[in-house]
Structure formats: C-alpha cells, structure tokens
C-alpha cells in the first residue's frame, strides 16, 4: 500500500484540482474580469502608495482601517462586523471549517458556483444540490423540501447566480431565510453586486442567520484577491476564529485601502460594463439559433446548437469563453461570455457570428 493511499483522504484523492486554462495570447472572456485598467495618474499614485508599504512587517491583524473603508463604501449596516478573506474562496472555506460538525450538510441551488460543493467536500461535509428550474429560477418547493429533509448547516444563494447570471426572486429568498430560522446560516453571495445593483445587505438586521458575502474582484481588483463577509456579531466572531492569521497581505491591504478611496472610478467602469452588457445581449439575441438568458452580472449565458464546435472555433481564433455545457445537464450547449470593452465585444461578436455560419 502506497503512502498516498494510507495518508490522503479517499474523497480528496478522487477530486480533480481546479483548472484554469492558459490564456496567453487570447482575448480572455472566460473569467468575469473587469477589462479596464486604472487611469495613468491613478496608477502612478497607487505605485507611490505601495512603495511605502513595510513589506518586512506582518500586517496589523485587525485590519481596522480597511474594514472601516469597506463598511463605509459598500453600505454595511452600522455595528456589523466584517471578516476578510483571500477572495471569496477563502471565506467559503472558513465557513465550511467552522460548521463541519459530524453529519453537517451544505445546500445550494445547482448549477451554481463550484466552490460551494468543493469546499464542503474538503471539510468533510455532504453537499446537497437542488436543481434550478429550466429557466434557471429557484425551484422554491424543492428548496423548502430539501431544507426540511437535510437541515443544512449552510445554504448558499448567489445573487446574481454564476454561471446563469440571473437574480433569484427576493420573496423566495426571504421565505428560505424564514424557513431555515435558527437551524442554519444562509449565505447570500453578492460577488456580482456592482452589476446587479440589488442586495440583501439592508436585510441583515432582520435575520440573525444571514451572511452577506462579497468580493472586490469583479469590481476591478481581481488581482489583489480580497473578499469580505458580514453578519451578526456572534457569527462573525466564530468565523474569525478560523481565519488564518495575516491572511490579507500588506500589498493587497494597501492597494485596497487606496482604491476604496477612489471607488468612484471602479463604479464608473461597472456602469460602462452594464451598458455593454445590454448592447452585447441585444446583438447576440439577433443572431439565428442563439438564446440569450437575462443577466444581472458582468457576463452573459447563451445557448446555441453545437456549442462544443462553436467553442472550438472561437479558440482557433484566439478567443476564450467558458464552455459550461458539461457543468450540469441544465447547461447543455451553453457558453458563458464575460462582458468586456466595446472593442473586445465587437471582436468577439464578429468571431462568434463567423463560428456559427462556418461548417
């Protein structure tokens, strides 16, 4: 018997590591990144700011100033604690670790963000996926039945959802919150909030089991890997116990503190992407055989016959989108396209139209 089989948990040995394709030389429309860089003057100011960071010192572990800026800029209710993570992925992992009692389960609609299931498995928890309806809306009766049967420790509701892009019905989400009550926590994942302009942040005082989780990645700071969550003081205290010490490095901290004082620049970019989302959706919807789903995020989900072939033809033209067709049966023949600049959107559209018409 090898060392691996004796030491590594079998459920880990059976997993495949998260794969990110090499996008060198490609028009990259697969990762929901903000395509805009900062204005040159702001880049210079940021460089000066980062040059003064004491990289020989650990971060101050409380991150008090950064948390205050986040609360002020993003509307966290007064008196609510914030827990920081190295992206949303780390926050999801922290919650899984904190809630992984024997027999504990994680529940979420599917298809959804893959890290909900993966982090549950890594923590030794069972993941329960409840299929969405064919139009990607919540199957509320199925969700309520699954909650009743499984009594999940954590329920995730992405608002809007990835990879479908839609906002779930607010009344349905509130009903889920009321049904779960004190038996578990409900995490509303608002990673794409800058493009949805909808939020449950203001409902935090009503629900002690509600956690709102966000990231600055989609807003235009994907490279600094900063996520945050907020909720009741009691919950955040427990999650803080499993947060790795100094998990936000000094460069990410300094960059975030600087940019949160210039967040209007990022919000202007988000507004341009919302406009481009409308334009690109309209253009794609006008192509024969293409179905475009409503999106409140910075990407569009489309369904097209022979999506595998279309995807391969786009790759030949050095354009990378996300082929999600194998993620779930509801996503058969679906592609996910990040909304980009007018120039990049036009390049994609021409290549996509050609891929549809070519044999």
Q: Share the mean pLDDT of the chain.
A: 95
pLDDT in tens, 98-133: 999 999 999 999 999 999 999 999 999 999 999 999
The count of structural domains within the chain is: 2
Residue 358 confidence class, pLDDT cut points 50, 70, 90: low
pLDDT in tens, 51-101: 999 999 999 989 999 999 999 999 999 999 999 999 999 999 999 999 999
CATH number of the domain at 184, please.
3.40.640.10
**pTM score of the predicted model:** 0.95
Q: Are residues 330 and 233 in the same domain?
A: no
Domain stop point among 211, 229, 261: 261
- Is residue 48 a part of any domain in this protein? no
Q: Are residues 80 and 155 in the same domain?
A: yes
pLDDT in tens, 219-259: 999 999 999 999 999 999 999 999 999 999 999 999 999 99
Domain stop point among 261, 291, 313: 261
- Average pLDDT on 289-300 reads 98
- Is residue 51 a part of any domain in this protein? no
Structural domain of 96: 56-261
Query: Residue 15 pLDDT more than 80?
Result: no
- Average pLDDT on 302-319 reads 96
Q: Report residue 111 CA to chain centroid gap.
A: 13
Q: Are residues 144 and 28 in the same domain?
A: no
Query: Residue 34 pLDDT more than 80?
Result: yes
Q: What is the pLDDT of residue 18?
A: 67
- Is residue 46 a part of any domain in this protein? no
Q: Are residues 219 and 268 in the same domain?
A: no
Domain stop point among 261, 292, 309: 261
Give Rg (Cα) of the chain.
Answer: 21
CATH number of the domain at 273, please.
3.90.1150.10
Neighbours of 181 (CB within 10 A): 12
Q: Are residues 217 and 123 in the same domain?
A: yes
Q: Are residues 195 and 285 in the same domain?
A: no
Q: Are residues 33 and 98 in the same domain?
A: no
CB 314 within 8 A of CB 346: no
220 φ, ψ (degrees, to nearest 5): 135, 10
């Amino acid at each position: 018997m090898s060392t691996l089989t004796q030491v590594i948990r079998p459920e880990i040995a059976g997993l495949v590591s998260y794969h990110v394709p090499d996008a060198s030389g490609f028009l990259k429309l697969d990762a929901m990144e903000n395509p805009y860089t900062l204005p040159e003057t702001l880049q210079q100011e940021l460089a000066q700011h980062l040059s003064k960071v004491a990289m020989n010192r650990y971060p101050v572990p409380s991150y008090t100033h950064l948390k205050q800026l986040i609360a002020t800029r993003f509307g966290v209710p007064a008196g609510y604690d914030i827990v920081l993570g190295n992206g949303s992925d780390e926050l999801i992992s922290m919650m899984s670790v904190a809630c992984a009692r024997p027999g504990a389960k994680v529940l979420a609609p599917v298809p959804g963000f893959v890290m909900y299931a993966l982090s549950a498995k890594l923590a030794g928890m069972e993941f329960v996926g409840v299929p969405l309806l064919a139009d990607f809306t919540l199957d509320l009766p199925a969700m309520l039945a699954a909650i009743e049967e499984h009594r999940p420790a954590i329920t995730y509701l992405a608002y809007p959802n990835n990879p479908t892009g839609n906002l779930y019905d607010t009344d349905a989400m509130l009903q889920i919150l009321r049904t779960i009550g004190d038996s578990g926590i409900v995490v509303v994942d608002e990673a794409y909030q800058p493009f949805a302009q909808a939020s449950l942040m203001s409902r935090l005082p009503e629900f002690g089991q509600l956690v709102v989780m966000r990231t600055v990645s989609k807003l235009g700071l994907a490279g600094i890997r900063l996520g945050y969550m907020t909720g009741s003081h009691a919950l955040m205290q427990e999650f803080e116990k499993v947060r790795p010490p100094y998990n936000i490095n000094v460069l990410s901290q300094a960059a975030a503190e600087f940019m949160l004082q210039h967040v209007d620049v990022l919000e202007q970019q988000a507004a341009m992407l919302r406009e481009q989302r409308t334009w690109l959706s309209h253009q794609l919807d006008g192509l024969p055989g293409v179905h475009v789903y409503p999106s409140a995020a910075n990407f569009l989900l489309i369904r097209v016959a022979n999506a595998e072939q279309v995807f391969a033809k786009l790759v030949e033209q050095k354009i990378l989108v996300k082929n999600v067709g194998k993620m779930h049966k509801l996503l058969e023949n679906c592609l996910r396209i990040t909304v980009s600049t007018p120039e990049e959107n036009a390049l994609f559209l021409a290549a996509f139209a050609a891929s549809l018409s070519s044999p």
